[in-house]
Amino acid sequence: MIIDGMADRPMKELEGKTPLEVAETPNMDRMAKIGINGIMDPIQPGIRAGSDTSHLSILGYDPYQVYTGRGPFEAAGVGVEVHPGDIAFRCNFSTANDKGIITDRRAGRIREGTKEIAQAINGLHLEYGVQVIFKESTGHRAVLVLRGGNLSDQVSDADPKYEGNPPKQVVAIDGSEDANKTAKLLNELIQKSYKILKDHPVNLERIKKGENPANIILPRGAGAVPEVQPFQEKYGLRSACIAETGLIKGIGNITGMDLIDVDGATGGVDTDLDSITTSIVSTAAQDYDFLLINIDGADEAGHDGNLEEKVDFIKRVDSVVGKVMELDNAVFILTADHSTPVAIMDHTGDPVPLAIKGPAVRVDDVNSFSERAAANGGMCRIRGSDVMNMVMDLTNRSTKFGA
Amino acid sequence: MIIDGMADRPMKELEGKTPLEVAETPNMDRMAKIGINGIMDPIQPGIRAGSDTSHLSILGYDPYQVYTGRGPFEAAGVGVEVHPGDIAFRCNFSTANDKGIITDRRAGRIREGTKEIAQAINGLHLEYGVQVIFKESTGHRAVLVLRGGNLSDQVSDADPKYEGNPPKQVVAIDGSEDANKTAKLLNELIQKSYKILKDHPVNLERIKKGENPANIILPRGAGAVPEVQPFQEKYGLRSACIAETGLIKGIGNITGMDLIDVDGATGGVDTDLDSITTSIVSTAAQDYDFLLINIDGADEAGHDGNLEEKVDFIKRVDSVVGKVMELDNAVFILTADHSTPVAIMDHTGDPVPLAIKGPAVRVDDVNSFSERAAANGGMCRIRGSDVMNMVMDLTNRSTKFGA
């Protein structure tokens, strides 16, 4: 169970304490008390991990090997079945005028009708036998996957970043033939999307209502879908992923986990924690060996620089921890994927606390769950890449190396 | 700030305490109290690091990649601008008799006139278009750099180690053509140096005074100058190196740091610590982002097996730490590059204590700076190669890996 971005740095406002240290967390503290504790570097000491690279590392995948960019994980996260070699992009639905200038990068923050619009792009066939897979995500976001034709992810972004400009010409970053071909196809697809979408019924309706139409797509964050050994094949564990955000669902999807949909999960501090709890308990009752749980609100509060909300969310998520602790016969690992200090409003490379509860662990003297208390624990300091090996061993599933 | 060789092992004479544990160090203890502590393996647990390999590791360079021998760092340390591919050597000025026997490996521990003698060798041109760069270091020491001609560092030492022998024939270690060529040039250069130097005015004067002449050069410690990414390019930090010894100055020079000369710095226990302090404070006031500070006396006392001097030097260097702690707005790291136990009189692979003071650190409960107290700290156990990643992250300069 990964409480996204929960860890923090000492804050003046809290007299040198961290949000996790001041939040009332009786259940997490009980985890610390009945478990073994330590600090964990998701990747390496001082390396500032993203949520995606951290989760990959914790699941035993080397992010330096498999992380090719955000595109593939976003695409997998909205349920596109990506294949190794596919080139995936994050996209915006945007508004262009008839001179080709982007007048609204987020198409009036469109929320409805994107599914219909996406269907008008999805399934297109391009030169070189390339197939277009296009799917809406939340709001003005979408994902684009190009399949076939030996394309490359070494291409630049089309998003001009500021309104009043035309889409940026996509170019090959490495100058390779494959990348040139990919850039050419993308530039053509962007123009084509305008032609297809400008008179789409959803957009005609939006224009009638005075809303900006979603009449062009702007891809960015190209990544080649990596060759990832399925989690079940790697560990022999039937696994499910209970996550709120597309990015983490993408990690679950790309590693072949079952994705559990959770009603009311927003990925924010307003998420429905009761619904998440129910979902965890009912999934655990099914025939799974391993659950990956990610709850995102603390990270959002950190990115927003909102101390009060971060402390409050940690306090509320503590009750979810309490329920998960009741699951018998489970090795339960509580941690964060990185620190998102309120004062920094972004991830930092500080280590995160980690507690493991289970019949086999060497219970230590730590009595509270926090960044500092954990450093005195029986696990000392480990890396994200150690976690799955420890899980396998603590559940007596590890393979002996040697005689 | 690296107090060279400060760490030690428990000593019977100190009732099982270490020199650092018994020395009065109120400022270092305050560092421990207001900072975060841990132990550090400069390279890996149990690996017995040199000062050079440890510093490289702490600066984020893999010593197994870039450390090709002591020669290049000594050469860079005396101010020779070495280029990747140069072959560098440490040299002794020695005394040979007219039968070619070395009668004094240190040429009467010559202290003056070596600059003039070196100039007689510097600038020679050898076969294969090889250029000789030769420069005096302290006392009877000098450095030799061979540039051009596709030479190799896989050659043996010329120093016979014991008086009464001729220079050792330099041979190719790997039997390669390049190494054979290099060995041939070196053997010729050694003979040539005798011819050039035996009647050098400085030597005629020495003979007149009954001193041994510096009439031959004996190279050893061949190393090909490695390709090293400049520190500023690697981290974007404008940096300066305040060091006493040629070896550490060489690390600073080869990584492209500005070298700060310190009056009265001897590299021994008799060094001028006030002058070093003044130099640190004035350099910190300049436009630098990063200072590498090395103070060497504790290491010398350790090598000499002098317990009293080691304890006394640690006590005295504590006042320098106090002054550096007053520098505001700085992340300050206090550590050693290795242990030099008095009982061993050489480096050992024991970990060293490390304390970091700065606005972002998770202050722990450690109240004194020592090998043992540090092991209870909030950083647990890290490696030298983690330090720069942590520095970059604690100063909010790190790049996020992932999303």
DSSP string, B199-241: T-HHHHHHHHTTPPP--EEEEEEEEEPP----HHHHH---EEE
Helix (H) or strand (E) holding A146: strand A141-147
B43-102 pLDDT tens trace: 999 999 999 999 999 999 999 999 999 999 999 999 999 999 999 999 999 999 999 999
A325-380 pLDDT tens trace: 999 889 999 999 999 999 999 999 999 999 999 999 999 999 999 999 999 999 99
What pLDDT sits at residue B176? 96
What percent of chain B stands above pLDDT 90? 98
Rounded to a whole number, what is the distance in Å from the CA of B122 to chain A's nearest CA? 45
A65-120 pLDDT tens trace: 999 999 999 999 999 999 999 999 999 999 999 999 999 999 999 999 999 999 99
pLDDT at B329 over 90: no
Q: Tokens standing for B145?
A: 């750099």
Of A18, A46, A381, the CB nearest to B393: A46
CB pairs A-B closer than 8 Å: 93
Q: Measured between alpha carbons, how far is A265 from A250 in angstroms, rounded to an integer?
A: 16
What is this structure's pTM?
A: 0.92
Mean pLDDT, residues B214-223 taken together: 96
Q: Which B residues, 337 through 396, put their C-beta within 8 Å of a C-beta on chain A?
A: 360-364, 376-383, 386-394, 396
Give yes or no for a contact between A181 and A130, defined as CB atoms under 8 angstroms apart. no
3.40.720.10, 3.40.50.720, 2.60.40.10, 3.30.70.270: which CATH number matches A2-67+228-394?
A: 3.40.720.10
Q: Measured between alpha carbons, how far is A353 from A37 in angstroms, rounded to an integer?
A: 7
What percent of chain B stands above pLDDT 70? 100
Q: Where are the beta strands (DSSP E) in A227-365?
A: 239-242, 258-259, 290-295, 332-335, 352-357
CB spacing of A49 vs B402 below 8 angstroms? yes
Of B378, B389, B401, the CB nearest to A53: B401
HSE, side-chain direction, 13 A CA sphere, residue A125: 2
Beta strands A125-126 and B2-3 are unpaired
| Domain residue ranges in chain B | 2-67+228-394, 74-224
pLDDT at A28 over 90: yes
Q: Measured between alpha carbons, how far is B271 from A291 in angstroms, rounded to an integer?
A: 61
CB spacing of B381 vs A381 below 8 angstroms? yes
Query: Nearest-CA neighbor of A155 among A248, A274, A71?
Result: A71
Q: Measured between alpha carbons, how far is A111 from A212 in angstroms, rounded to an integer?
A: 12
Q: Measured between alpha carbons, how far is A112 from A117 in angstroms, rounded to an integer?
A: 10
Q: Which residues of A177-202 are buried (b: 16+ CB within 10 A; e: fewer)?
A: ebbbbbbbbbbebbebbbebbeebeb
Q: Measured between alpha carbons, how far is A82 from A101 in angstroms, rounded to an integer?
A: 32
Q: Tokens standing for A224?
A: 């080649």
Q: Measured between alpha carbons, how far is B275 from B261 in angstroms, rounded to an integer?
A: 10
A44, A65, A89: which to substitute to probe chain B, counting the most B Cβ within 10 Å?
A44
